[in-house]
Structure 1
């Protein structure tokens, strides 16, 4: 096991069945705060070389053949010593393998079984394939993303896979751990990305039905308003403008030296106001505008590339990015003030499984059979 784990989740053991995006992200969020996460991969996918994927940081890994009876029996042995299982298969697959919730609760009634899918464990779409773009489409979220008059634009796979998926699953694990303290019983978590994406947009469902949120790209926070948008600078870079409140707007306009602007409170004037701002922002480089707004309440920020972000003075001062395994990566969040620094080392193969209930002799037999990597 990973020795010396520290943090609020120290002592919590997690079996993470290998998968894409949301499952590993949930495991990373738990490992970042001290959980001991063991990633269970296919036999052929495991080697002695550290895994460099940022979402595997702080974990250990093994390869196990879950299509063999001995592999399933070994997984149940691991589950006896675990607090949490993260499962990422389509509904019914884990049950067919013999490692579904009922199978594992029979050997460990305190086990928390977290299920991560796109559509959920039931409903007409549950057995079908899908991706982030499909889940946010069905939830209504995708319809709200994009500029006026243009087609809906998916924001990479942040809302379904990561925010609505992996993060919600990690949250569900914490809820179940908290409840287990009272009941002594484990729970099954049905974490569906379509549900998670929907709850992230709770405020906007209310807005649409209440009549104060209009078609996509026409509202205050979705690039409809000129005071909440991005603007190109003279060097082909961009600034993010978030001068919503009057006092912030006044500061921005004053620092830009603009006068005679169209009325920002008159929506009919928004196109003309946007044109004036766009023309002015194109007169200087991004760096020059950064100097103009530095330290002010104008709510204007440079749009940094992912290569630039780790070197921004604010991010440097807060340690928002860290180096681990030769890679620059976001530091764990949220921060618990006073908590010890987390283990962010790349995942390596776990050779000694004795602490997880599989002794050296049993492990050697499984390796000889090709069941354990």
Structure 2
């Protein structure tokens, strides 16, 4: 029985973006069958190629994010090369860019420039602060967007200081994923109407979705979150991180009463602290003392097999051993034209909708000639 075509088979994507948000979005489109052509700086290419550790001629980071694409070095400021880019854009279904607002327009590659040669194009702009307003043209990175959105300050330590986030939340959750969703919706509408669109994906503004509960609480009149004091930010003993005797940690998320009742029984918490209402800090302190009295292995033996939503904070090796991090995915990325490969980042695209297992190289940086890569 023949396999059905991938959902984005025949879709041509011109990727002008760099680093993480745009390239990860176009990787997902490529996984679903799109043909992605990535344009980078001449000679050096995308800055991520230079990261460590290296895997062949580029970094492992670059390899993971750009497998299955083709890449060409282009000087956007050179009129002849810009004309080649416009000819490519005239063929594209999707154009992805990640410049600061106004830069693509100055280069002659803004939405109006592309729409003039391709009325049905889906043109996606990922920005830090949106296309207009007092912050629009400012430089920024993930940590800046989290800080200025209000999210970074909602969880604080005992000194009142926020911590570094565990990963680049804004780039992925507020850049990549909204871009993919909106591109797919725009392609669907284009199928229905023939109309293209300019999609704006402002990462700082999109972070509001991650703070949906804080937003709802404020809109209902209860104010903005108090740092480290709300149910999910450190104010509740039922949703907290507790140190163990050996320097490890327990992550407690026993919010529902049935989980909480079983947890306090298992750990032997004094009965006067079973009801945490109105004495949250005292219960946090008491439960902290209990967890701090024993090692992580002890608490793992107590908690394993119990429905209490409370676990040991895992190391990466432990997560792999538990099967929760996949370092042996059937999809592999290889060096260009070589045999060296490694299992690559598992795709979030359903296996029924993406290309099957196999080895796909990341692209060498070629020279963009007059002939179209899509010819």
Instruction: Sort the TM-score into its range (normalised by shorter chain).
Output: 0.7 to 0.9
The CA distance in 2 between the partners of 1:213 and 1:118, in whole Å, is: 23
What is the aligned partner in structure 1 of residue 312 from structure 2?
A: 302
- Pick from 227, 231, 247: which aligns with 2:242? 231
Q: Which has the higher contact order (CA 8 A, sep 6+)?
A: 1
| 1:108-155 alpha-carbon deviations (Å, 9 max, x no partner) | 222111101111111122122223333334433334232476034452
Which secondary structure state, in structure 2, belongs to the residue aligned with residue 34 of structure 1? coil
What is the aligned partner in structure 2 of residue 349 from structure 1?
A: 364
Structure 1 pair 63/266, CA: closer, same or farther in 2 (3 Å)?
same
What is the aligned partner in structure 1 of residue 208 from structure 2?
A: 198
Question: Does structure 1 residue 188 correspond to structure 2 residue 198?
Answer: yes
The CA distance in 2 between the partners of 1:358 and 1:64, in whole Å, is: 14
Contact 1:234 1:281 in 2 (8 A): yes
Structure 1 pair 148/287, CA: closer, same or farther in 2 (3 Å)?
closer
The CA distance in 1 between the partners of 2:12 and 2:191, in whole Å, is: 15
Contact 1:112 1:186 in 2 (8 A): yes
| Comparing 157-166 and 82-91, the one that deviates more | 157-166
The CA distance in 2 between the partners of 1:356 and 1:216, in whole Å, is: 57
| 1:200-222 alpha-carbon deviations (Å, 9 max, x no partner) | 32331121342176412111111
- Pick from 118, 137, 144: which aligns with 1:134? 144
- Pick from 288, 296, 300: which aligns with 1:290? 300
Contact 2:73 2:366 in 1 (8 A): no
| 1:37-79 alpha-carbon deviations (Å, 9 max, x no partner) | 2221111125994653222233222211211112111112221
Structure 1 pair 321/158, CA: closer, same or farther in 2 (3 Å)?
farther
Structure 1 pair 206/36, CA: closer, same or farther in 2 (3 Å)?
same
- Pick from 273, 281, 298: which aligns with 1:262? 273
Structure 1 pair 208/309, CA: closer, same or farther in 2 (3 Å)?
same
- Pick from 86, 91, 104: which aligns with 1:94? 104
What is the aligned partner in structure 1 of residue 118 from structure 2?
A: 108
The normalised TM-score by structure 2 is 0.83
- Pick from 64, 78, 82: which aligns with 1:68? 78
Question: Does structure 1 residue 39 correspond to structure 2 residue 43?
Answer: no
The CA distance in 2 between the partners of 1:59 and 1:238, in whole Å, is: 41
What is the aligned partner in structure 1 of residue 18 from structure 2?
A: 19
What is the aligned partner in structure 2 of residue 371 from structure 1?
A: none
Which secondary structure state, in structure 2, belongs to the residue aligned with residue 197 of structure 1? helix
- Structure 2 stretches of 5 or more lacking a match? 50-55, 335-340
Query: What displacement does 1:10 show?
Result: 2.9
- Structure 1 stretches of 5 or more lacking a match? 361-373
Contact 2:32 2:355 in 1 (8 A): no
Contact 2:155 2:234 in 1 (8 A): no
Contact 1:86 1:115 in 2 (8 A): yes
Which secondary structure state, in structure 1, belongs to the residue aligned with residue 87 of structure 2? helix
Question: Does structure 1 residue 8 correspond to structure 2 residue 4?
Answer: no
Contact 2:74 2:367 in 1 (8 A): no
Contact 2:66 2:363 in 1 (8 A): no
Query: What displacement does 1:87 show?
Result: 0.6
Matches within 5 A, 1:164-175: 164-175=174-185
Query: What displacement does 1:338 show?
Result: 7.0
Query: What displacement does 1:21 show?
Result: 2.4
Contact 2:251 2:310 in 1 (8 A): yes
Query: What displacement does 1:82 show?
Result: 1.7
Structure 1 pair 225/148, CA: closer, same or farther in 2 (3 Å)?
farther
What is the aligned partner in structure 1 of residue 231 from structure 2?
A: 220
Query: What displacement does 1:247 show?
Result: 0.7
| 1:297-339 alpha-carbon deviations (Å, 9 max, x no partner) | 11112212345433323446x9789764455654111535575
Question: Does structure 1 residue 331 correspond to structure 2 residue 346?
Answer: yes
Query: What displacement does 1:342 show?
Result: 5.8
